[in-house]
Chain A
Amino acid sequence: MVSLKVNGKPYTLEVAENETLVEVLRYRLGFMGVKEGCGEGDCGLCIVLMNGRPVHSCLVLAWRADGAEIVTAEGIGTESSLHPVQRAFIDEGAVQCGFCIPAAVLIGKWALDKGLAKDREKIRWAYRGLLCRCGSYIRFEESVVRAAEGE
């Protein structure tokens, strides 16, 4: 039995010993924004914020998330009220195939909140561990800078 908060809302559910956090978030709780790409912590598509820190949710067994506060891309903005990073991603043309975007907006938000946006090298560092085959890395960087300027 685990109790966790996702995007501010509490959930309590039975989880199997071998269920990963990404599986629970997607298939048990319906947060399809969290993607699966390798199951081994190599691609970063499954990154969520867990207790404020970006983690690869494919490496977290669900029962380890008991008591945790999780934030996914679905939780940082809405269509009528986009998070500045989400707005910037659209304006900067950062979305190509879209598959890495939920993880990318979360990392962008995290970098912004951590005060990394003033240093482009630090923004790129924050994006390490997330693979984008479409090659939108420079777009991500520009988006975070733009979101910071907007503040």
Chain B
Amino acid sequence: MLFGRIGLPRFAVSRPTSLREAWERIASGEGIHPIAGGTSVIPLIKTGLLEVRELVDLSGVSELRTVRREGDGLSVGAMVTHVELVELAPYPIANLLEGFSRSHTSPHIMNLATVGGTVASSTSSEDLLPILMALDAKVTLYEGDGPSEVPLSDYVARRDSFKVALVRSVEVRTSWDGWKFSFDKLSFSTLRLPAFCVVVGAKLSDRKVEDCRIAVSFADGLRPGRLRAVEDAVRGRSVDELRPSEVSELVRGAVRPAGDVHFPADYRRLVTSRVVALKLKEVIGA
């Protein structure tokens, strides 16, 4: 469709009330797509990029709205909205989400967009993804034979192989004693794809980096990811001898960002690497 559609096309809507029912519909054939908040699906249909004959309405599956706190774990159902997540998240997640909210290109989208929709889209426009990845998030998927858990970064990296799995919930660790996190993002106006989005966390002991997390929105093409290779190289290093230029170099070698008219690939790579280096320097107090 050269310039998209004037109106939404006709489609059927199924309204499952259980996870199993929902998954069965989605897995039953071509052109059947789940709809969570609608913030991704509706624009894709309107511009003609997604053709659907049936939408599976997830708003009737109450399990998807469950929020559970168990020890140092927080489980957030897929249909929980962004704004609800911001409101319920405890420290230190709340701080990162405050940055997410403050720098959002269109904050009122948070009232509709869902955690599950974000995970399922697995794309660089979702600032939540590097945040969740840095917090060791796991995704609980439902695939007909029951739930299975997979680290979020693996899910995103291998997104195409999870075609008909339904996102049930996201699990995040809430205790991060001794950790410092930082979120940074740059975009322009209402552009959904930012120049960069970076989340960095570190825990020190004896002026050494005991552990760290580095997640970026443009790890590979349009996929966010954790930069494990960089984390490995930084882990165990002394704060005093870890040079930002080295970190920057490591990141530059680890990312292959997509480029566009606004932010070319080389630009994204260079700036992502420098921002990561800067943020790491900040969280390790160097």
Contact = CB atoms under 8 A, between A and B. Distances in A.
B43 A40 contact: yes
A81 interface: no
B159 interface: no
A20 B111 contact: no
B38 A60 contact: yes
B108 A17 contact: no
Contacts of A58: 42
Nearest to B45: A18
Contact of A129 (B35, B46, B83, B109): B109
Nearest to A63: B13
B38 A61 contact: yes
Contacts of B104: 128
A64 B38 contact: yes
B10 A18 contact: yes
Nearest to B12: A17
Contacts of A19: 8
Interface in B91-119: 102, 104-109, 111-112
Interface residues of B, number: 30
Contacts of B59: 64
A54 B190 contact: no
A55 interface: yes
Interface in B59-80: 59
Interface string A8-22: 000000001111100
B108 A53 contact: yes
Contacts of A18: 7-11
Contacts of A20: 8, 42
A55 to B, nearest CB: 5
Interface residues of A, number: 30
A49 B17 CA distance: 27
B112 A59 contact: yes
Given A18-B10, A59-B39, A61-B38, A44 B106 contact: yes
Contacts of A39: 8, 42-43, 46
Contacts of B35: 61
Interface of A: 16-20, 23, 39-44, 47, 50, 53-56, 58-61, 63-64, 107, 125-126, 128-129, 131
Interface string B1-17: 00000011111110000
6 contacts: A18-B8, A41-B42, A54-B108, A126-B107, A129-B105, A129-B109
A77 B10 CA distance: 37
Nearest to A127: B107
Contact of B111 (A17, A23, A54): A54
A142 B264 CA distance: 37
B175 interface: no
A8 B42 CA distance: 28
A128 B106 contact: yes
Interface in B1-51: 7-13, 35, 37-39, 42-43, 46-47
Contacts of B83: 53
A59 B105 contact: no
B112 A56 contact: yes
A97 B52 CA distance: 37
B13 A44 contact: no
Contacts of A63: 13
Contacts of B47: 40
A17 B11 contact: yes
A17 B109 contact: no
B23 to A, nearest CB: 21
A17 B38 contact: no
